[in-house]
Chains A and B, each alone.
Chain A
Amino acid sequence: MSSSSAAPPATYTTPTKRAGFSSTATAEAGPSRARPAGASPAYSSRRHSLYGIEDRIVIDPGSRTWKVGFSGEPEPRSVFWSTPSSGEDETEAWSLDPSLISSARGDRAEGDRLAGISVLRNLRKAFFECLMTDPKARKVIVLENTFLPRYVKEHIAQALFDSLKVPSVAFTPSSVLALAACGRITGLVVDCGWLETTVTPVYHSRPLYHLARSTALAGRALHRRLRRLLNHHATYYPPPASLGNLARQPVKPVPTGLLTDQLIERILTEGCFVGGVFVPRADETDEDEAMDVDAVQEKAEVEARREADRLARRYADDSSSSAKDMRFSVTPSSGSKAMGTGTLVVPGWLRERASEILFGDAVDEDESIPGLILACVLKCPIDLRAPMLSNILVTGGTSSLPNWITRLRVSILQSLLPPPSDPSEHSGAVPPFGTPEARGKETREWRRRGDEPYKALYGLAGKVVILNDPAPLSGDAQGAGASRGGSAPRWTTGLMSWVGGSLAGALKTSGPEIMREEYDMLVSESLARGEVWYEASDAALAEVAATAGLDLEEMRPGMAMQGLEAQRKRGWDEGRVLGDWTRATALV
């Protein structure tokens, strides 16, 4: 940290071709006058150059969609899927762990390769098909998500430097950029994307990574929930088989082959929205009906069925949802001989309540998104809690569902509401210490503490403000903070970070830059280290073989390693060139 703060303000971060510029310019400016960084008229004018190289390329890589464009433009040039959709399964370019990528089948090395390939493909596509520009001429800003896996980051750097030969890459925290797109540098960024929802507190343009939190409740979980519900509770009318027989019999459950990834995405975009806070009925029973488990049916399938039925019991009635059913025309899979398109009828409650999974209805122990936000705020230092709660910024594609942000605010406020207090607690005097009454009261208080995890934040309920809330509470209901709700510019949540990246590029600022020469040097150093290590281990292997008196060919697997273990103190990993996010914090 000290080194970077003491470092010179050679901040023009000019393209390499202008390397000589900064020194001459400052010399002309004279020793007394400090040159304001980036304030040269040549730099700050709005359209400084028609096809100059100072515009950077801003890439927001996602596991699901990629957004690419030039800095200084308010919209990305292109947005595309990160993997070609393969029908039934959800597709993503990478997962949080390489072994979790579906087609890797648990193999880490294979998952790593797969992620590397899709990163390379997408980057080449971005440069040659979307931007149509020469990658060698322009610097690149890559938006780095809070929990972007390291292996993905390394693949991105490798593809950019080795295959595309870009002059420099700057990994820049997307949370800071999202705030910058709203003209701020402090706030709590809630990013609801595909793989995970992350909550990152940012203070004075510094993301506080050690306080950041994430959950898997995001686009993918929502997709899975919606698919399951559609499978069991939507109705499918296949197209008539022939002109002679126009009768269309409803099919239930909907065949899984029909529910392609694209169809789910379509239903989600065109038909789904987020309802108000769900109040469970008092008489709701969570008992499972006794079901005949058919021997043929797999257990998972039974589970799915049971889960879908539970949700239907929960939500499918008028008190929960007043939304009307919606029809979607569906093209049947290519194999069928039927004519025309089929119709999928999606019940209204499903459209409204599928997203409940994000707001505290997950099957497993996942924390809901409002809970996650509050837990994150609880972890913050006490003087940061108020600024964080009153500067919540929601980004990420999944949160663009209608009413998502408003629902989030209502849910947060609901969690911050003290429960209706028991009148018996307040009545009467404090029982004398040591008596059974006093002990009983203490126990009750302890129990209640578990029920009210956010008690410490109750006082801050009036401060909760979501910056891009489309429908903030009006009037004085929430005090002074309320007027700031919805004060952010009207960027769509999915592109907010990208817009921030574009702004940063236009202002010639970004995260720490890695130059190509620097990267090449790091890689060659790492390789040299690897060579040394391999040599050492080979030598050790030979030595062990010699001491064991065995020929290497005769040794059984593992025999040589027994002797080696003591000497192998430090392994070597091929990829470790880029710092991970913890190190990046210190540098920014």
Chain B
Amino acid sequence: MADTTVLYHCPHLDPPHGPLPPELLSSSASLHALPELYFCEECDAVRCNLCVGVEVASYFCPSCLFDVPSANVRADKNRCARSCFSCPQCSSSLQVQAADPPTGEVSSSSGTGPFLLICPGCKWSSREVGWEFEKSSGLAQQLARVHSAAEVVQSEFDSLKDHLETYLTASAPTPAPTSRTRHPTRHISHLTQMAAKALHREIPGMAAASARTRGGRNAVKSAEDRVGWDEMKEYEAKGRCAGLEVDKAVELEELREGEWAGAVAGIEQTWAKSWDGDRRTKALLPQRIPLQTKLTKRCPAPTCRHLLIQPDSKSTRMKIKMVAANYLPAVEIGRRRRRIVPGDASEVPAEDVERRRRERRKTRGAKEEDEVMTDPLRPGEVYYFQLALTNPLYDPIQIRLTHAHAKSSAHTIQNDNAVIHIVTPHFTINALKDAWAYDEEEDEEEADFEGTEASEEATGSIATGSGTGSGTVGRKGARMSLLAGGSVRDNGKERRDGVERKGNVSKVGVEVEVSPQARGLIEFDIEVRYTYRSDEGEEKADEDVGVKDASGAGAGAQGGAEGYKTFTFWVRVNAGKVEPVLVK
């Protein structure tokens, strides 16, 4: 059942670094699917939803699609103030219908009132809670006039507020004139004042003693007056808990008898109600539908703050859309094959991973069996996967895959569950072009780095709705050519050095040796470094990148010589779940 996924790492505001190893669950918080990520060109960094700065651009009702002015949102409690209600039973959107459509007449919607709210899903009708409306529009306003349940709560709240306010103002000490200047910026709360007053108050016994020394009844009386001057008066609740006595007793009895089976509202339906009342489903009222927002997102770096997403309030398009899918190669995993071992496999000692691998390589290509990706992996088996990387750029790129947590060798990942070997760590991916550009190039042997003319044509012709605002200089927003896209034909394939190229997709192999005691998910992190040609170095485009990258292996060497730049990111590949073979 486990789905294979590839998640991308967002380092948030830290300098680029790899994710924590997959054994630690907290690492998963900084890993996201590629379509959820943004890319800030100014910072040259990946940004995710947990770190971007968010501002609300506009509010709208998801039911009637009305754009609510932001001035009204607060008073409307973030809910649609028109006629949109959700069903209390099944939470689907309610419809307005005339209560009694006169028989024989065609349309009920044109009928004259009274109107009801009807749930198209579960046939709940607002008549059950006694809601009928005179007009078919502006139901929320009609309801506010009639409905008074909220008033009880509000008035209790207000009287509580008045009660506390009286106390706060009465007990607030007169300010000492000198202390003002001493701490002019300090904000002290009323609670502090209350406490201070409580500390300064006279201790009853002491007060009595001092009064006695002075003698006379008046002194005693004034002392008595002063005792309790800061006591709070008893608050008389309008709706006392004790008033619920009968209701609660009945509830308990009916609950005991099991009469409430299936009649109690779920916790999520009632937990936002602060006023204790009937918990049963039939007491639930339709709720106005919560508004939704269009958000503007900004780069969180304090020095940057560039817009990453800016929605257009009038349409579903974006004015600015800096999504990571336009910048980072898409990594996918697929084509699982299991190695069929002839005879006994346990001859080679388990410790020597490298030797086992060499053994396998000797007999390579002997027997492999295609498997369905969703099947569970078996412990102790060896699998081959294909990693497909899709280039979203109009330039060819050079890829280097390494192990993200370099403990042992750079191309072999070993953890508790499996040994993962990256078969082809260095390879290139062709540039993104239009489908017809690949057609023309079909006969050419090399979909190569020199093919700049083709890619430049493509740059002109592809204009997606993305990345048209905010100084998009370098790599233009581009369209992904999908792996599963029908336009890519088999004869466009070429295979060399274990790399399968097709259009702007390159596929390389990954070998996963599941250890015999493995359980749970097989996950591993790969550091992907890609080298692309930056605009500044365009004139030197005919330089051979492959040689250079192989020589200069220094990580994080940003903006290498000759106009080529590298970018490093990390992905977590989830190859599937291990389930032990059931012994029968």
The interface of chain A, by Cβ under 8 A from chain B, is 1, 4-11, 13, 31, 34, 36-39, 44, 46, 50-51, 65, 67, 70, 73-79, 103-104, 107, 110, 113-114, 117, 120-121, 124, 127-128, 130-134, 163, 165, 170, 172, 176, 180-186, 204-206, 265-266, 269-271, 273, 322-329, 335, 348, 351-352, 397, 402-403, 406, 467-472, 485-492, 494-496, 498-499, 502-503, 506-513, 515, 587-588
Contacts and interface: CB of A to CB of B under 8 A. Distances in A.
A510 B240 contact: no
Max count, chain B CB within 10 A of own CB: residue among A76, A121, A131, A489: A489
A74 B256 contact: no
Interface string B247-290: 11101100111101110101110011111110000000000000
Contacts of B192: 4-5, 7, 512, 587-588
Given A7-B179, A11-B187, A37 B29 contact: no
Contact of A326 (B1, B156, B160, B261): B261
30 contacts: A4-B196, A6-B182, A8-B175, A9-B173, A10-B188, A11-B188, A11-B193, A39-B165, A44-B165, A74-B157, A117-B50, A124-B50, A128-B54, A132-B59, A132-B78, A163-B51, A180-B160, A266-B267, A323-B258, A324-B256, A348-B256, A470-B244, A470-B247, A471-B242, A486-B242, A487-B237, A487-B240, A488-B240, A496-B274, A503-B157
Interface stretch (B69-77, B439-447, B467-475, B485-493): B69-77
A323 B167 CA distance: 47
Contacts of A322: 256
Contacts of A8: 175-176, 179-184, 186, 188
A469 B182 CA distance: 47
Contacts of B78: 77, 130-132
Given A8-B184, A170-B189, A499-B274, A185 B194 contact: yes
Contacts of A487: 234-237, 240-242
Contacts, number: 314
- With a 10 A CB-CB cut-off, give which of A8, A127, A182, A507 has the most chain B CB atoms: A8
Nearest to B156: A489
B239 A103 contact: no
A509 B168 CA distance: 9
Given A39-B169, A206-B198, 9 more contacts: A1-B199, A11-B188, A38-B190, A51-B75, A75-B153, A176-B191, A180-B160, A487-B241, A495-B273
B71 A51 contact: yes
Given A75-B272, A205-B195, A491-B276, A10 B74 contact: no
A60 to B, nearest CB: 11
Interface in B388-441: none
Contact of B274 (A74, A269, A323, A467): A74
Contact of A117 (B29, B59, B188, B275): B29
Nearest to B173: A9
Nearest to B180: A8
Contact of B275 (A67, A127, A130, A491): A491
Contact of B266 (A75, A133, A269, A498): A269
B191 A205 contact: yes
Given A7-B183, A79-B271, A490 B241 contact: yes
Given A8-B188, A65-B271, A470-B248, A490 B56 contact: no
Contact of A184 (B51, B232, B249, B255): B232
Contact of B276 (A132, A172, A397, A490): A490
A31 B174 CA distance: 12
A117 B182 CA distance: 41
A122 to B, nearest CB: 11
B238 interface: yes
8 smallest CB-CB distances across A and B, nearest first, come from A183-B235, A486-B242, A509-B190, A324-B258, A5-B196, A113-B26, A74-B157, A270-B264
Contact of B191 (A335, A397, A588): A588
Given A5-B196, A131-B78, A489-B237, A37 B190 contact: yes
B189 A512 contact: yes
B245 interface: yes
A406 to B, nearest CB: 8
Given A50-B75, A205-B194, A494 B271 contact: yes
B154 interface: yes
A183 B241 contact: no
A133 B74 CA distance: 9
B191 A511 contact: yes
Contact of A492 (B24, B186, B264, B276): B276
A406 B463 CA distance: 70
Interface in B17-76: 24-26, 29, 49-51, 53-56, 59, 70-71, 73-75
B241 A470 contact: yes
Interface residues of B, number: 101
B273 A327 contact: no
Contact of B25 (A103, A186, A329, A403): A103
Nearest to B256: A323
Interface in B515-569: none
A584 B172 CA distance: 21
A117 B186 contact: no
B163 interface: yes
A133 B242 CA distance: 38
Contact of A489 (B177, B194, B238): B238
A545 B248 CA distance: 74
B50 A121 contact: yes
Nearest to A510: B189
Contacts of B249: 471
B295 interface: yes
Nearest to B79: A77
A107 B26 CA distance: 11
B450 interface: no
B106 to A, nearest CB: 39
Nearest to B185: A10
Contacts of A77: 77-78, 272
A273 B252 contact: yes
Contacts of A134: 55-56
B258 A74 contact: no
Nearest to B269: A269
B510 interface: no
B50 to A, nearest CB: 6
Contacts of B153: 74-75
A265 B266 CA distance: 9
Contact of A9 (B59, B77, B158, B175): B175
B274 A488 contact: no
Contacts of A506: 161
B91 interface: no
Contact of A6 (B74, B179, B190): B179
B25 A114 contact: yes
A170 B191 CA distance: 12
A132 B179 CA distance: 40
B165 A507 contact: yes
A507 B242 contact: no
A587 B191 CA distance: 10
Contact of A185 (B49, B232, B258): B232
A100 to B, nearest CB: 14
Contacts of A186: 232
A511 B241 contact: no
Contacts of A5: 192, 195-196, 199-200
Contacts of A494: 271
A5 to B, nearest CB: 4
Contacts of B386: none
A183 B183 contact: no
A9 B172 contact: yes
A80 to B, nearest CB: 9
